Amino acid sequence: MSISKQYIKDGTKCKVTFKITKKESNNAQTVNLVGDFNDWDLNSTPMNRLKSGDFTLTQTLQAGKIYEFRYWLDNTMWENDWTADGYKPSPYEGTENSFIDI
């Protein structure tokens, strides 16, 4: 897993690239990026599957915010990003969400 950030010149927005490998996704066929930035919609942000089986997606996000997110694998299983800036308790007992600080 990896997250890279590239701030736009004026610093008000940031292009964030999320990547999860084939192995890290447990050989998933589909991965959706789900979080604050898409109102936790399970289907609105599918990641692009590469020939290698890895998944990647770039989102432009407003700077100055913290965004919680998770990966939704094959419409059946949640996965956090091990390279996130940190973790926060989710509203669901016993689980956490990844977060990035932009």
Q: 2-101 architecture in CATH?
A: Sandwich (2.60)
Residue 32 DSSP symbol? E
What's the mean pLDDT in 89-102? 92
Q: Over the stretch 36-92, which tens digit does the pLDDT of each residue have?
A: 999 999 999 999 999 999 999 999 999 999 999 999 999 999 999 999 999 999 988
Instruction: Read off the pTM.
Output: 0.94
Domain boundaries, the chain: 2-101
Q: Which pLDDT belongs to residue 93?
A: 78
Q: pLDDT at position 92, please?
A: 83
What pLDDT is recorded for position 91?
A: 87
CA distances from 60 to 14, 18, 50, 74 (A): 5, 11, 20, 24
